[in-house]
A and B are shown apart, each in its own frame.
Chain A
Amino acid sequence: MSLLGHYNYWITVFLMTAGLYIVIARGNLVKKLIGLSIFQTSVYLLYVAPGKVIGGTAPILSPEYAVYSNPLPHVLILTAIVVGVATLALGLAITVRIREQYGSIEEDEILAADRDAEERG
């Protein structure tokens, strides 16, 4: 019973580490940002899933229903989603500027260009 009961957490863990893997293992900046957003969505799942009450309904009060799912995680995650897209927009703006200055958005090439610039003084 405990195995099935914790299944939702394991999905979250898998998505979280998949997102983390994309961020640390891939050099392309845009892909890193997408991996970051996958990481963020896994956190939404982490918060919303424990709030669900089986047999309950969406937390909109109505005379026909008596059991509701927990509304508090929904509030937190609503804020988190909007902040996430704001972060994505800023990250993409920085990526565009990096592309214009360095000519590439691969992490290795950018670091190499920095090192060359340092050696040249």
Chain B
Amino acid sequence: MAVLTVGVAIQRNLFSVVVLSGIYSFLMATVLVALDAVDVAMTEASVGAGVSTVLLLGALYLCGGEEAKPLHRPWPPLLIALVIVGALVYGTLGLPAFSDPQAPIHVVVAPRYLQQALQETGVPNVVTAVLASYRGFDTLGEVTVVFTAGAGVIALLRRRRRREPPGEAR
């Protein structure tokens, strides 16, 4: 995946960039399955590699497919990126090691959900139970976000029905 992101940064033909990002999403979905996150992997595969790629291709058709040669030198952003890498790596050294059973997220809240979900909701898929029942308000907010995005796209891309010859300035 690291190779893919470097490819995305360097490639100038936008069509190949879109294909690379689709491959990246599929690889990310595979990694998520390896991390036991099956719902997330299914969503990432269908949304990231499916819908995103279609939307990007649609936008590319409407916008043109080549990126211009970069005018600025790449050194200032590269320097900033390296500084951020250093700061973040220093920060992550304080985080718990991978799959540590004593990490706070495994001890405090999750066991309660894992033990009680079947009796309280009757649904074996704990992720669905938490999403739809225990944290139902958040899902309501998320559906509203999706709705707002749809409304926003409609508002931005709708054509007015005006009686004017095509190609005339608006």
Interface residues of A (CB under 8 A from B): 1-2, 4-22, 24-28, 30-31, 33-35, 37-38, 41, 44-45, 48-54, 56-62, 68-75, 77-79, 81-90, 92-97, 99, 105-106, 108-109
Contact residues in B for A38 (Cβ distance below 8 Å): 5, 8, 21, 24
Contact residues in B for A105 (Cβ distance below 8 Å): 63-64
The secondary structure that dominates the B interface is helix
Tell me if B149 and A52 are in contact (CB < 8 A): no
Contact residues in B for A89 (Cβ distance below 8 Å): 55, 149, 153
Tell me if A9 and B92 are in contact (CB < 8 A): yes
Tell me if B126 and A60 are in contact (CB < 8 A): yes
Interface centre among B32, B60, B99, B150 (most CB of A within 10 A): B99
Contact residues in B for A5 (Cβ distance below 8 Å): 97-98, 100
Tell me if B81 and A60 are in contact (CB < 8 A): no
Q: How far is the CA of A9 from the CA of B54 in the complex (A)?
A: 31
| Subset of 25 A-B contacts with CB under 8 Å | A2-B93, A6-B97, A9-B95, A20-B84, A25-B77, A34-B8, A34-B56, A37-B21, A38-B5, A41-B28, A45-B31, A48-B35, A52-B99, A54-B99, A56-B36, A59-B125, A59-B127, A60-B126, A75-B130, A77-B40, A81-B48, A83-B146, A89-B149, A92-B56, A96-B156
Tell me if A75 and B131 are in contact (CB < 8 A): yes
Apart from A61-B126, A85-B48: 5 A-B pairs, beta carbons within 8 A: A2-B97, A22-B9, A34-B21, A72-B105, A72-B109
Q: Which residues of B73-120 have CB atoms within 8 Å of chain A's CB atoms?
A: 74, 77-78, 80-82, 84-85, 88-89, 92-93, 95-101, 103, 105-106, 109-110, 113-114, 117-118
Interface residues on B, range: 35 or more
Tell me if A90 and B149 are in contact (CB < 8 A): yes
Tell me if B89 and A34 are in contact (CB < 8 A): no
Tell me if B81 and A21 are in contact (CB < 8 A): yes
Contact residues in B for A58 (Cβ distance below 8 Å): 36-38
Tell me if A52 and B36 are in contact (CB < 8 A): yes
Q: How far is the CA of A69 from the CA of B106 in the complex (A)?
A: 9
Tell me if B135 and A75 are in contact (CB < 8 A): yes
Q: Which residues of B1-60 have CB atoms within 8 Å of chain A's CB atoms?
A: 1-2, 5-6, 8-9, 14, 17-18, 21, 24-25, 28, 31-32, 35-40, 43-44, 47-48, 51-52, 55-56, 58-60
